[in-house]
Amino acid sequence: MRMKHTKKQMLFLLGGLLALSLSACDTTKKDTQTATETTTSTPAESSSPQIPAEDKALWTQATAIFKALPSEPESPAANPTTPEKIILGKMLYHEPRLSKSGAFSCNSCHNLASYGVDNRPTSIGHGFQTGVRNSPTVLNADYQLSQFWDGRAADLEEQAEGPILNPVEMGMPDEDTVIKRLASIPEYQEAFTKAFPDNSPDSEGPVTYKNMAKAIATFERTLITPAPFDKYLTGDTAALSTEEKAGLQQFIAQGCTACHSGQNIGGALYQKFGLINAYEHQQDTGRFEATGEEKDKYFFKVPTLRNIAKTYPYFHDGKVWDLSEAVKIMSKTQMGKDLSDQETQEIISFLNTLTGELPIEARTLPTLPASQADTPRPSL
């Protein structure tokens, strides 16, 4: 529930709101203003691919709105990506000792066997309590303006610190207990030292809560799932079928791209859920709970649509299981439109092209080191 906001976040927020007031509210404009508004964008690949004449118009439009995923993870200056951090981060991601009971790891709710989610409305945590919001996917999560549904964490590092100490999630009492568990294990001492070799001898040592979060974030940056749509964007227009291209055209024409654009087909701005028509299940005030600002009431971070066909149930409350129902609700609440079944199905055929594949290294379980005599034990 931290209230901290970076300048970057605020700029994104303002930019997002501006973009939305310009486009998303205009429910009559069915054509492709977004493409013309963003003529400074360039295709993802610098060498111009040869695009068949019949695909040229749609592809040009699409590459102005969307961007393919990179093949390598980002490496932020504040936490550069290294192989040693990825190794440590993967161990920690699968580490049930980060939970009070020793039964929950990051992977329990963000399961890498099921597209980084648990496919539950809300996740089960310590004491079989359930959270209030649906666990969003960890896949491609780096390519968002912020983390959590309400954007209360600036980045993956900040996000990783949260669930471990949340009483209804992993339930650890405090950072010290977490660090006592990890620091008591020689293999973790070694892995942290390799991942964070620059710690001065006077410092508290490499095994810190911040470094733990940094390593988890670094591993999470490798969770990139290139999909058929990325192939299309980088010039292989045959990667999408005729029907899928029609879906892409529909997705753009209906104005879904007002919110769902960029590298993550979402994740780049906040938007009010119920912009035109109220969402019937609405109880959660969203970003307002994080900022306390009236203007943020019912605002949520626009989720990524990557792997959306696999990351049901939908929305912040996980109340909607069916993707076509979710698409229709979005269209109705955000744009005041009733999509036909055919329009909906076309859009879904495009959304299916966003299902990608994790690199095999990301799906390979680590081998976790054994606890020692002084390692604090799990408890209920």
| Contacts with its own copies, residue ranges (CB under 8 A) | 94, 96-97, 101-103, 108, 111-115, 118-120, 123-124, 126-128, 130, 309-310, 312, 321-322, 357-358, 360, 363-368, 370-371, 373, 377-378, 380
Alpha carbons 320 and 337: distance in angstroms, whole number: 18
Question: What is the torsional sign of CA 178, 180, 183, 185?
Answer: negative
In angstroms, the Cα distances linking 312 to 108, 146, 230, 320, 324 are 16, 21, 22, 8, 11
**Would you state the structure tokens that stand for residue 12, as one six-digit string?**
């994104």
Closer residue to its own copies, CB minimum distance, 222 or 334: 222
Q: What is the smallest separation between the CB atom of 112 and its own copies, expressed in angstroms?
A: 6
- Identified catalytic residue from 169, 244, 343, 346: 169
Closer residue to its own copies, CB minimum distance, 94 or 287: 94
Question: Rounded to an integer, what is the distance from CA 5 to the centroid of its chain?
Answer: 18
Query: Is there a catalytic annotation at residue 175?
Result: no
Q: What is the smallest separation between the CB atom of 257 and its own copies, expressed in angstroms?
A: 25
By three-state DSSP, how is residue 186 classified?
helix
Alpha carbons 262 and 309: distance in angstroms, whole number: 19
Cβ of 360: how many Cβ atoms within 10 Å? 7
Q: What is the smallest separation between the CB atom of 108 and its own copies, expressed in angstroms?
A: 7
Closer residue to its own copies, CB minimum distance, 145 or 305: 305
Closer residue to its own copies, CB minimum distance, 114 or 241: 114
170's enclosing H/E stretch is none
Closer residue to its own copies, CB minimum distance, 290 or 351: 351
Q: What is the smallest separation between the CB atom of 205 and its own copies, expressed in angstroms?
A: 25
In angstroms, the Cα distances linking 59 to 174, 351, 362 are 51, 16, 31
**Would you state the structure tokens that stand for residue 286, as one six-digit string?**
């969203």
Q: What is the smallest separation between the CB atom of 345 and its own copies, expressed in angstroms?
A: 14
Alpha carbons 314 and 325: distance in angstroms, whole number: 10
Alpha carbons 141 and 159: distance in angstroms, whole number: 10
Task: List, by residue number, the catalytic residues.
Answer: 169
